[in-house]
Structure 1
Amino acid sequence: MGKAAIRIGTTVAALALAAIGAPAVARQQDGGRAAPKTVVPLMGPRGVDALGDGRTLVTESGGNFSLVVERRHGPARVVPLGNLPSEFPPAIAKGPHGVIYLLTGASGPPPEQRQPALRGRAAAPPATLFKWKRGWPAPKPVVDIGAYQKTDPDPWDQENLPTDSNPFGVVALDDGTVLVSDAAGNDLLRVWPKKRKIKTVARLVPRTVPVPAGLPDVPPPMGPLPPAGTPIVSEAVATSVTVGADGYWYVGELRGFPATPGTSQVWRIKPGSKNATCDPLHPRKGACTRYADGFTSITDLAAGPKGIYALELSKKSWFAFELGLPGAQEGGLFLIRHRGATPRVRELAAGRLVNPGGVDVSDHVYVAGPLFGPGALLRLR
C-alpha cells in the first residue's frame, strides 16, 4: 500500500493471507441513507474514539491527537491535546480515570524520508503503548509491545519474522487493562498498565487463499506472482479490536499479500481468554470463534447496540490500492448482525468512503479518512 502499506505495510513484511470457504453472508446496502457529513477537516486521520455527547478523540499524521467537540450552533471545535511524534498516526483509546492510551506501530522510515514536520525530531519509540492525562507535557510509555513479542514468537509465521511486531489496534477495558491487536504478531494481547505486564489472549492462524485475478505484473520482492487461483498460505494480520455489547472481544483481519478480496475474517473471543487459537479450519471450536467472513482489508472495528462495524481500507484490497488499480481508493463500512447461524451484513455509506482509517460508535457512527493526505472526521446518520 505505498505509504498505505503504512505500517500495515512495514507490516507488509508481516502481511499474510487467508483461505476461502467463507460461510454464506446475507448482504445489503443502505441505499445511501447513511450519507456521511464532515464534522471537521483533519490531516491523514486514523485513530477514532467516540466518547458520546458530540466529543470524539482523533489522531492525525505526525502524531497529533485532539478532542473534537461538536456544537449545536456553529462549527465543531478541535481542541489540541498533544503530540506523539510518529510517521503514522497512533491508535487511541480513552481509559478509566481520564487516561488516554496511544499506540505506536512498527518503526517508520529513515530520518531523511520522514514527513517534513518530523525531520530533526526524535520519533516516539515504535511498538509501544503510551498513556497521557490532561496537564501532562507529553505521553509516557507504559509497555514495550515489541520487546514482549520477542519472547512470544508467532508459531505460524510465514515471513521468517516470528518475533516481528506492529501493534495496530487498541481498546481500553473498564477494569483498567488494555487490549492490543498486533498486525505483525498476528495476535491479541492484554496489557496490565500498572503492573507493566502483557499476556497473549489469542493467536490468529493463517489460512490458504488463491492468488486473485486481475493483478498486473509485480516486480520483486513481492513478485512475480504465481498464476491466478494458485493457493498461498498467508497470515491473518490482526489490525483491529473492539468490545461488543455482549462483552466479548472482537478482532478483525487485514489479510496479507496478495490481499485476496473476501478473505478477511472477524473473530469473537471469550473475555479473559489466554492463548486461545483463532483457526479458520476449526472456526467454531474453542474460546475464539469466527463471527463473520468474506471481508477485505479490515483496518478497524467498532461496536454499537446494533452490532459490530467493520471498516475496509479498500474494497478491492490494500494491495490493489498500492498497485494503483482503478477504484481501489473506495473503502467500505459494514454493520454485522447475527440472527441465527448466518451473519447479516449491511453496507453503510456505500460508494462514499475514500481509504478510511478508523471507525467508532457512540450516539452516531464516526469514520476518519482518507487515511493519506487531507481528510476529515465524518459522521453518519
Structure 2
Amino acid sequence: MRHRKTLGFAATAALATAVATFSAPSTAAAPGPVVVASGLNNPRQLTFAPGGSLYVAESGIGGDDACGTHPEFGPACVGPSGAIARVGTGGTVTRVVTGLPSLASAADTIGPSDITFTGNHRYAVTVGLGAPPSLRDELGAPGARLAHVLTGDLRSAGLADAFDLAAYETSANPDGTDLDTNPVGLARWGNTFVVADAGANAVVRTNDTTVATLPPVPATGPNAPFPGFAADAVPTDVVRGPDGAWYVSQLVGYPFEKGSSSIWRVVPGSAPMTWATGLTNVTSIDFADDGRLYAVEIAENGLLSGPIGRLARVTPGGSTHATVAGGLFAPYGVATRGSQAWVTTGSVLPGGGQVVRVSLG
C-alpha cells in the first residue's frame, strides 16, 4: 500500500501553522535573496525561455467547476485558475497562459507544476493530480486535463494534449502498487518529454516508456508509523546533466525524514544510481553554467517541522551540501543563469508567492 507522498505540503498541522506565521523569504544568508516578483498563486517550477525571459508555473487557487474528495487533502474543487506567468523587468508579472486546471482545498493546491520550452514561444507544461486516475474521472470535463503534459505556443491561444500520465499509470503502473499519478518535473528529450511522476514513483518518457522507477525509502525516525515502514520515493524533478545522463530529485514521502532524499543519476536502460545523499525534501534541481548542481529543499528539517527550506550546492557523491541561501519560506523551483539562481518561494500561498534572486557566489 502507498503512503502519503504527493506534494500536499500544506496538509499537515505544522505546515498550516507555518503558513500563518511566515509570509516572506528570510534574508538571513548574506548577501541575501532579492525579491524580483510577488503576487504569485502557489508558484512551483520556473525556467528561462531560449530568448531569456523567465517563466513560472502557477498551480492556481482551484475553483468551483467540479468537486471531489482528494486522498491527500480532502474535499477539493477544480477551476481554471492555473497559469504560466512571465516575470519581466522591474518585477512585473504577466500571465501569458491562463485557464489551466487547478485543484484546491483549504489545505493545498495541485495544478501546473513545471514548464519547458521547445522554442522561444513553444512550450510544454505539466499539470498534476496527486491521486488515482479515478478522481479525475469523478471531476468530469473541468478536470479532464489534470495529470497531463500539455503543449502550446505563447503567440496563440489553445493547448494540445501531449501525454496523459493518468492513462499511462492505469495501463503500465510502473511501481506495481496502487494507481496514483502526479506529473511534476519536466524536461525535453528530443521530440518527446521526460516527466518526474511523484505519484507513480517513476520517471516516464512521453512515448509510453518508463525510464526509471525509484525504490521506497525506509523510515527510521520516531515518526515512522511502525518498524520497517517504507516511505515512497516521490521523484520531483528531472534535468539532463553535462554528461548526458538524467538527474532526478526526490522528496520522499511521509514522514518526510531529514536526510532521506537523494539525487539519482539515470542512464536509460540501466538501473538508477544514487549520485548524492543526505538531502531533505528536494523539489527542484538545476545545473549551473559551471556544471555544479543546485537543489531546493522545501523543508530543510523535514516537512513535519514546517516549510523553511534552502537552496543548496550539491556535493557529487557526498552526503553534506553547502547552503547557498537559507531560511526560505516554502521554496520550490530553481533556475540558474550565469552566477545567479532564481527560486520560487511561498509555494503554498495563494497570492503570496514570490521569485527571489540569489547569488551563487
Map of 2:216 onto structure 1: 206
Match of 1:301 among 285, 296, 303: 285
With over 3 angstroms needed to count, the CA separation of the structure-2 counterparts of 1:257 and 1:76, relative to structure 1, is closer
Aligned to 1:311: 296
Q: How does 1:101-180 map to 2 (within 5 A)?
A: 101-106=124-129, 122-123=142-143, 125-155=145-175, 157=177, 161=178, 163-173=179-189, 175-180=190-195
Distance in 2 separating the partners of 1:264 and 1:350: 18
Give structure 1 stretches of 5+ with no counterpart.
13-30, 110-118, 192-196, 216-222, 278-287
Of 330, 337, 343 in structure 2, the residue corresponding to residue 355 of structure 1 is 330
Name the CA distance, whole Å, in 2 between partners of 1:148 and 1:85.
Answer: 19
Offset at residue 203 of structure 1 (A): 1.0
Q: Residue 150 of structure 1 aligns to which amino acid in structure 2?
A: T
User: What's the TM-score, normalizing by structure 1?
Assistant: 0.71
Bigger RCO (CA 8 Å, 6+ sep): 1
Pairing 1:60-99 to 2, within 5 Å after superposition: 60=58, 61=60, 62-70=81-89, 75-83=90-98, 84-87=100-103, 88-97=110-119, 98-99=121-122
1:331 is matched with 309
Q: Residue 376 of structure 1: SS of its match in structure 2?
A: strand
Contact 2:300–2:310, Cα closer than 8 Å, also in 1:
yes
**Deviation >6 Å, runs of 4+:** none
Q: AA paired with 2:102?
A: S
Amino acid at match of 1:297: N
Structure 2 residue identity aligned to 1:312: E
- Cα distance in structure 1, aligned partners of 2:196 and 2:343: 19
What is the match of residue 367 of structure 1? 343
Contact in 1 for aligned 2:234/2:253 (Cα 8 Å): yes
Give the letter aligned to residue 336 of structure 1: V
Compared CA separation, residues 148 and 34, structure 1 to 2 (3 A): farther
Match of residue 238 from structure 1: 235
Question: Would the aligned equivalents of 1:50 and 1:366 in 2 still touch at CA under 8 Å?
Answer: no
Larger Rg: 1
2:329 match: secondary structure: coil
Q: SS at 1:151's partner residue?
A: helix
In the TM superposition, residue 295 of structure 1 has moved relative to its aligned partner by: 1.1
Per-residue deviation at 1:314? 0.9
Would the alpha carbon gap of residues 329 and 336 (structure 1) be closer, same or farther in structure 2, given more than 3 Å must change? Answer: same
Structure with the bigger percentage of strand: 2
Aligned residues: 300
RMSD of Structure 2 on Structure 1 (CA)? 2.9
1:355 & 1:6 partners in 2: Cα distance?
A: 17
With the length of structure 2 as denominator, give the TM-score of the two structures: 0.75
Q: Tell me if the contact between 1:244 and 1:307 (Cα under 8 Å) persists in the aligned partners.
A: no
Q: Give the conservation status (yes or no) of the 8 Å contact 1:102–1:129.
A: yes
Tell me how far apart the structure 2 counterparts of residues 82 and 296 of structure 1 sit (CA, whole Å).
Answer: 32
Q: Judging changes above 3 Å, is the alpha-carbon distance between structure 1 residues 343 and 154 closer, same or farther for their aligned structure 2 residues?
A: same
